[in-house]
Amino acid sequence: MGNKEPNIDDFFRHTEAISKKMHEYMAGKSFDEKFATAMLNATDADSKFKADVAMKLSTVLNMIEMLVEYVNKPVKKEGILQRKLDGTVMLEDTHVPVGSLVEYWKDEKWNVGKIAQNPQTKQLSIIDVVSNKTMVDKIEQIKARVR
């Protein structure tokens, strides 16, 4: 980078380039498939450990790729995210399916999470995509936007 001061857009461009390099390395196989094969072929404790760490890294790389792809899209809709009586999640007049990434306003800033549904209670929540922790216990009405 030389003397140039890095900025957030440079960071995303470099992250995207790393992701593309990983896809070239995988040669058409998914991260999980490639490292699952490595795990099965591991014969000693050290090889198994390395294959396990590689699986964890592939999960993180997939998450990074998903977030970079998401953040590089323009905001499509902003408004109030709410659960309807039929159980669907709507952002104004747009259906937002379970599993979708959504930005929500909390603690005076935009946060990104994934809409999740408890299979037993059918309660809808927003979970953090990095920590997998519930960030919004119950979707009732929250300021949100989608890209």
User: Tens-digit pLDDT profile for the chain (147 aa)?
Assistant: 456 777 888 888 888 888 777 777 766 666 667 667 777 788 889 888 888 887 787 778 888 888 988 988 999 999 999 999 888 999 999 999 999 999 999 999 999 999 999 989 888 999 998 888 999 988 989 999 999
Report pLDDT for 28.
Answer: 62
pTM of the model: 0.72
On the 0-12 / 13-18 / 19+ scale of CB atoms within 10 A, 117 is middle
State how far the Cα of 51 lies from the Cα of 39, in Å rounded to an integer: 5
Q: Check residue 141 and give its pLDDT.
A: 92
Among residues 125, 11, 19, 7, the alpha carbon closest in space to that of 63 is found at 19
- Quote the pLDDT of residue 100: 94
What pLDDT is attached to residue 27?
67
Nearest CA to 99 among 111, 87, 85, 89? 89
Per-residue pLDDT at 1: 47
